[in-house]
């Protein structure tokens, strides 16, 4: 999973040897740090505007009120900026606001969805999820949490609902002012506004990706139905049908499992090696809390990649052998992973049948690349989404055909003024929500004049270093995710809020160990720097309690609890060691030396 950062930089990044964020990010941090003015929740900087000497930005347009938009409005307020958020629907939550109808054309999750990142690893960094919420949330609870956040930080009054951003264009004096003209529409009435900066928070998943051209016969011969997963709400329309699901992303996996309970037969067509991982890790803890640690990230850097790959494959295959199930082989070069606890059992019980790529469709069947053929009533394309920003003026939109054209996946580097930021257009091995909040914090710091971007030439150089030379065929879209810790740390470094583990080790060893060996939860980015939150330490030290709390609905007293055993074992070991040392004070120093 890990994306490697090179050489000494990586060591510094893993171990936080770098006392300054400058070396990694290349950004210059301003020295003046105002005293944090603690809010009700103990966080948030309200920066007096008179302090923003060289910043031209005051009014910020935030487009979209999903998780990225909410984090952006909050970060603007923290920096003393004036956000106005335009949301085309009537409510917050973005794709997490489930509705039965798909008529509005809005992308929303399906009814049965459960988050695949845990609450402790996905929450806003200064607002932990309620402790009685389960670790993995259905859409209703996640939306409830967003509502709590919006209410707590009084964000709603900055949002204009049922207002669509129709166009975002540079002002004629953009090269000096950096300003944008935003045209919006509310109830058929258009309005034009001038903003000093724009944060685009319209999400990664706006338009269904329906690659019909790759499926000969689907439009010309096939008499059955086909739909994209965006239209899917629940199983009803599929009862008793023979269904072919195309694509094994998280959606393809989830929907195959769900449909297997009511459909006559479910086939899942897969074109690339896929490893299946469970949300439940060792001892039943959430997988992301167990695996996404700075220690593991450090090991990833330290050990040869061939070895880490082997360890990973061994771990994946220790649950079930992916080759036997036709899913992935240890020879495959990619690490595409989906999260699904039930799919292996569906395969084992035959309620979902894996098939290779479809070669063509006939009137009533799908012919697969291995020559086999199956009668099919409905084809469900779980082929993912594409992003688009139709409201951005063409000259700006054309600057980024994929998110790798953006500096740090946020800023179009060619703009004369860095007053346009794309938030949430990133795919991570961990929570996108945490990544988006981190981006919003850094961006608003730049708008407010506390952080600066490097010169255009440096940004362009970094972008072209990271972007592949050859443009790929859209049907071979890369599903590349970046390492969660690498990316969030990189942005946190730019913002000057990356935790310094070595410094913590000297000042607060207990916390340092929790930060290094424990889950890399978002609170870590509130321990120091701008936006420091006084509750961050406690949130880190109590994250496991909040994880277990919702399971304590029936408490079992188990004397075999491993910790008790450890205490019991520790006592005799300590007594024996003490005895030996008292008998021979030099023993401790001579162990291992030849006995005379």
Ligand X SMILES: NC(=O)c1ccc[n+]([C@@H]2O[C@H](COP(=O)([O-])OP(=O)(O)OC[C@H]3O[C@@H](n4cnc5c(N)ncnc54)[C@H](OP(=O)(O)O)[C@@H]3O)[C@@H](O)[C@H]2O)c1
Ligand Y SMILES: Cc1cc2nc3c(=O)[nH]c(=O)nc-3n(C[C@H](O)[C@H](O)[C@H](O)COP(=O)(O)OP(=O)(O)OC[C@H]3O[C@@H](n4cnc5c(N)ncnc54)[C@H](O)[C@@H]3O)c2cc1C
What is the per-residue burial (b if ≥16 Cβ within 10 Å, else e) of 243-257?
Answer: bbbbbbbebbbbbbb
Residues 150-189 as x/- pattern, contact with ligand Y by CB under 6 A? --------------xx------------------------
Query: Per-residue b/e over 419-439, b at no fewer than 16 CB within 10 Å?
Result: bbbbbbbbebbbbbbbbbbbb
63 binds ligand Y (CB under 6 A): yes
CA atoms of 398 and 233, how far apart (whole Å): 34
Q: Is 208 in the site for ligand X (CB under 6 A)?
A: no
N- to C-terminal Cα separation, the chain? 52
Task: Please identify, among the stretches 51-59, 199-207, 296-304, 497-505, the one whose residues bind ligand Y according to the rule CB under 6 A.
Answer: 199-207
Residue 67 near which of ligand Y, ligand X, none (CB within 5-8 Å, type-dependent):
ligand Y
Instruction: Map residues 47-86 to x or -, x wherever contact with ligand X holds by CB under 6 A.
Output: ----------------------------------------
- For ligand X, the binding residue among 26, 211, 356, 535 (CB under 6 A) is 211
Closest contact distance (angstroms) between CB of 221 and ligand X is 18
CA distances in angstroms from 273 to 50, 137, 382, listed in the order given: 56, 28, 16
DSSP conformation class of 416: S
Comparing CB distances to ligand X, the nearer of 46 and 250 is: 250
Which window, 31-39, 194-202, 376-384, 396-404, contacts ligand X (CB under 6 A)?
376-384
CB of 88 to ligand Y, least distance (A): 4
User: Does residue number 202 form part of the binding site for ligand Y (CB under 6 A)?
Assistant: yes
Question: Within 13 Å of residue 343, how many CA atoms lie on the same side as its CB?
Answer: 29
Single out the residue of 2, 36, 80, 94 in contact with ligand Y (rule: CB under 6 A).
94
Instruction: Tell me whether residue 86 or residue 450 sits nearer to ligand Y (CB atom).
Output: 86
Q: What residue spans of 79-198 are helical by DSSP H?
A: 119-122, 139-152, 174-177
Segment lying near ligand Y (by CB under 6 A), choices 60-68, 215-223, 523-531, 534-542: 60-68
Residue 477 binds to ligand X (criterion: CB under 6 A): yes
Give whichever of 229 and 403 is closer to ligand X, judged by the CB atom: 229
Q: Does 288 help bind ligand X (rule: CB under 6 A)?
A: no
Q: How far is the CB of 205 from ligand X (least distance, A)?
A: 6
Give me 548's structure tokens.
């277990």
Residue whose beta carbon is closest to ligand X: 249
Residue 436: CB minimum distance to ligand Y, A: 6
Nearest to 118, CA basis, from 319, 281, 275:
281
Residue 165 binds which one of ligand X, ligand Y, none, with CB within 5 to 8 A depending on kind?
ligand Y
> In whole angstroms, what is the distance from residue 371 CA to residue 155 CA?
57
- Decide: 1 and 429 in contact? Cβ < 8 Å: yes
Three-state SS for 421? strand
The crossing angle, in degrees rounded to 10, of helices 139-152 and 67-78 is: 20
Given 27, 61, 81, 88, the residue binding ligand Y (CB under 6 A):
88
Residue 336 interacting with ligand X (CB under 6 A): yes
Which among 67-75, 108-116, 191-199, 540-548 is the span making contact with ligand X, rule CB under 6 A? 108-116
Cβ-based neighbours of 294, under 8 Å, separated by 6 or more: 14, 485, 501, 515, 516, 517, 520
# residues near ligand Y by CB under 6 A: 34
Which one of ligand Y, ligand X, none interacts with residue 477, CB within 5 to 8 A by kind? ligand X
Please select the residue that binds ligand Y; options are 2, 96, 381, 419, rule is CB under 6 A.
96
352 vs 434, beta carbon nearer ligand Y: 434
Q: How many helices (H) and strands (E) does the chain have?
A: 21, 20
The single residue listed with the structure tokens 């030396």 is 593
Q: Using the rule CB under 6 A, which residue among 424, 445, 499, 529 binds ligand Y?
A: 424
Structure tokens at 535: 């509750």
Q: CA angle, 579 as apex, 573 and 580 as ends, to 5°?
A: 90
Task: Give Dmax over CA atoms of the chain in angstroms.
Answer: 96
Give the shortest CB-103-to-ligand X separation in angstroms. 20
Of 451 and 488, which has the nearer Cβ to ligand Y? Answer: 488
Any contact of residue 117 with ligand Y (CB under 6 A)? yes
Q: How far is CA 366 from CA 170, 265, 362, 371, 435, in A?
A: 49, 14, 6, 10, 40
Rounded-to-integer distance, Cα 462 and Cα 56, Å: 26
Q: Are 428 and 479 in contact (CB under 8 A)?
A: no
The answer to whether 86 and 163 have CB atoms below 8 angstroms apart is yes
Q: Is 7 exposed, middle or buried (0-12, 13-18, 19+ CB in 10 A)?
A: exposed
C-alpha distances (whole Å) from 294 to each of 1, 267, 301, 521 are 14, 39, 10, 10
Q: State the minimum distance, in angstroms, from the CB of residue 143 to ligand X.
A: 14
In the structure encoding, which two tokens stand for residue 157, read together?
A: 């009054």
Residue 391's binding partner among ligand Y, ligand X, none (Cβ under 5 to 8 angstroms by kind) is: ligand Y
Q: Which one of 95, 198, 266, 396 is in contact with ligand Y (CB under 6 A)?
A: 95
Q: How big is the site for ligand X, counted in residues (CB under 6 A)? A: 25
Q: Find the binder of ligand Y among 60, 65, 438, 495 (CB under 6 A).
A: 65
Question: Closest distance between ligand Y and the C-beta of residue 264, in Å?
Answer: 26
Query: In the complex, what is the shortest distance from the CB of residue 478 to ligand Y, in angstroms, rounded to a whole number?
Result: 17
By CB under 6 A, the residues from 239 to 268 that bind ligand X are 246-252, 254
Answer yes or no whether residue 138 interacts with ligand X by CB under 6 A.
no
Residues of this chain that interact with ligand X (CB under 6 A) are: 113-116, 211, 214, 229, 246-252, 254, 271-272, 336, 382-385, 475, 477, 479
Residues of this chain that interact with ligand Y (CB under 6 A) are: 63-69, 86-89, 94-96, 106, 109, 113, 115-117, 122, 164-165, 201-205, 391, 424, 431-433, 436
């Amino acid at each position: 999973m890990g994306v490697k950062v090179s050489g000494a930089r990586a060591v510094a990044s893993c171990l936080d040897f770098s006392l300054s964020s400058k070396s990694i990010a290349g950004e210059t941090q301003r020295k003046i740090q105002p005293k944090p003015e603690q809010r009700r929740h103990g966080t948030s900087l309200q920066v007096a505007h008179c302090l923003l000497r060289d910043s031209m930005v005051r009014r910020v347009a935030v487009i979209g009120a999903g998780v990225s938009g909410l984090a952006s409005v909050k970060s603007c307020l923290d920096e003393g900026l004036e956000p106005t958020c335009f949301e085309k629907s009537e409510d917050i939550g973005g794709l997490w606001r489930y509705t039965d109808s798909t008529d509005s054309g809005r992308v929303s999750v399906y009814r049965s969805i459960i988050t695949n990142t845990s609450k402790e690893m996905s929450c806003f960094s200064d607002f932990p999820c309620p402790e009685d919420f389960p670790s993995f949330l259905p859409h209703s609870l996640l939306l409830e949490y967003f509502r709590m956040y919006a209410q707590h930080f009084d964000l709603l009054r900055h949002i204009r609902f049922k207002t669509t951003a129709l166009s975002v264009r540079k002002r004629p004096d953009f090269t000096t002012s950096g300003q944008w003209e935003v045209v919006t529409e509310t109830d058929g009435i258009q309005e034009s506004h001038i903003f000093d900066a724009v944060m685009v928070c319209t999400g990664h998943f706006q338009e269904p990706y329906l690659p019909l051209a790759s499926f000969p016969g689907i439009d010309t011969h096939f008499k059955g139905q086909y739909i994209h997963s965006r239209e899917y709400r629940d199983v009803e329309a599929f009862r008793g049908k023979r269904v072919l699901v195309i694509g094994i992303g998280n959606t393809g996996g989830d929907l195959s499992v769900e449909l297997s309970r009511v459909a006559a037969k479910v086939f899942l067509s897969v074109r690339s090696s896929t490893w299946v991982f469970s949300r439940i890790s060792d001892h039943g803890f959430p997988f992301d809390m167990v695996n996404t640690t700075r220690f593991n990230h450090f090991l990833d850097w330290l050990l040869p990649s061939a070895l880490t790959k082997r360890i990973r494959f061994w771990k994946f295959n220790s649950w079930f052998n992916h080759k036997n199930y036709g899913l992935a082989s240890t020879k495959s070069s990619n690490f595409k992973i989906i999260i699904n606890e039930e799919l292996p059992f569906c395969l084992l019980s035959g309620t979902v049948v894996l098939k290779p790529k479809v070669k063509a469709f006939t009137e009533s069947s799908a012919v697969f690349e291995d020559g086999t053929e199956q009668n099919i009533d409905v084809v469900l394309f779980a082929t993912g989404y594409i992003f688009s920003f139709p409201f951005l003026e063409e000259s700006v939109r054309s600057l980024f055909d994929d998110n790798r054209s953006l500096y740090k996946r946020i800023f179009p580097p060619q703009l004369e003024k860095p007053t346009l930021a794309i938030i949430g257009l990133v795919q991570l091995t961990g929570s996108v929500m945490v990544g988006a909040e981190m981006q919003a914090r850094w961006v608003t710091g730049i708008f407010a004049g506390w952080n600066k971007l490097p010169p255009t030439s440096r940004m362009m150089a970094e972008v072209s270093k990271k972007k592949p030379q050859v443009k790929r065929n859209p049907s071979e879209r890369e599903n590349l995710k970046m390492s969660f810790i690498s990316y969030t740390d990189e942005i946190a470094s730019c913002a000057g809020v990356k935790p310094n583990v070595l410094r913590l080790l000297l000042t607060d060893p207990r916390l340092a160990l929790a930060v290094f060996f424990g889950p890399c939860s978002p609170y870590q980015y509130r321990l120091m720097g701008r936006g420091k939150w006084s509750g961050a330490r406690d949130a880190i030290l109590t994250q496991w309690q909040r994880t277990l709390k919702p399971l304590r609905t029936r408490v079992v007293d188990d004397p075999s609890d491993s910790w008790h055993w450890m205490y019991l074992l520790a006592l005799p070991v300590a007594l024996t060691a003490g005895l030996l040392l008292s008998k021979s004070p030099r023993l401790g120093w001579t162990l291992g030396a030849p006995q005379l």
